[in-house]
A = this chain, B = another copy of it.
Amino acid sequence: MSDLTQRQSEILEFIRSRLRDTGFPPTREDIAREFGFSSKTGAQDHLVAIARKGYIELVPGNARGIRLLKGGDEVLSHQFELPLIGSIAAGTPLTAATNVESWLRIDPQLFHPRADFLHRVSGHSMKNANILDGDIVGIHAQQDADNGQIVAAVMPHPKTGEDEITLKRYFRRGRRVTLKPENDAPAYRPIEIELAPADGDSQEQSPFRIAGIYAGLIRPRG
């Protein structure tokens, strides 16, 4: 259906999500920041390409002058839908199109705080928090969390090495982070992480990052 390249449709999807979340389109700089470009020209080039293919219209000289053309009513319907995020392709932003398993028709505003995406829980590690295997949790996207909050952490799977989302209760003291499962069984051990010192020049990748905080759940069966 799409004659857009992978990257281009990711960017188009980002524009849609920004419209959904903030009510207005992103700037070139917003796009560059989201995808990790160091220059906004990269974003501009993509926009021109997407516009040339007829998916958006660029209004010259206007800040945020991006108008969606195709799939316009899709934007409206996406207002009450949430992406279900499965596994995470390396180096992609979380809600990139490739990581979206499906869209579920649920009003994001049902959750408090508002949910930005969904994730299906597998396993029983959060049993004591009444989050069960097969539940779909709503996650409010944010980069940090308070002590004791349940977070969606992104970290490589111990065996496959592929990035995945897990729910854990978050505690931090200084540079020491503890991610604690909520299950008394001995198999469930807290994960201890020592954050790299924050010297601006460090190239080191943190072993995990917070994708957001737990904002509620859906249990799809009785």
Given A66-B23, A67-B22, A110-B105, does the pair A216, B218 have CB atoms closer than 8 Å? yes
Nearest CB on B from A212, distance (A): 10
Q: Does A64 contact B (CB under 8 A)?
A: yes
Cα-based distance from A217 to B110 in the complex (angstroms): 12
Copies assembled:
2
How big is chain A's contact interface, by range? 35 or more
> Which of B27, B63, B221 lies in contact with A215, CB distance below 8 A?
B221
- Residues facing B in A103-147 (CB within 8 A) are 104-107, 110-113, 130, 132, 138, 140
Complex interface: chain B residues within 8 A of A104 (CB): 107, 110
Query: Residues of A with Cβ closer than 8 Å to B?
Result: 19, 22-25, 27, 59, 62-68, 76, 80, 104-107, 110-113, 130, 132, 138, 140, 149-150, 213-222
* 26 contacts across the A-B interface (CB closer than 8 A): A19-B23, A22-B67, A24-B24, A24-B25, A24-B65, A24-B67, A63-B63, A63-B64, A76-B80, A80-B80, A104-B107, A105-B105, A105-B110, A111-B220, A111-B222, A113-B222, A130-B130, A130-B219, A138-B222, A140-B222, A214-B222, A215-B222, A217-B218, A218-B218, A218-B219, A219-B219
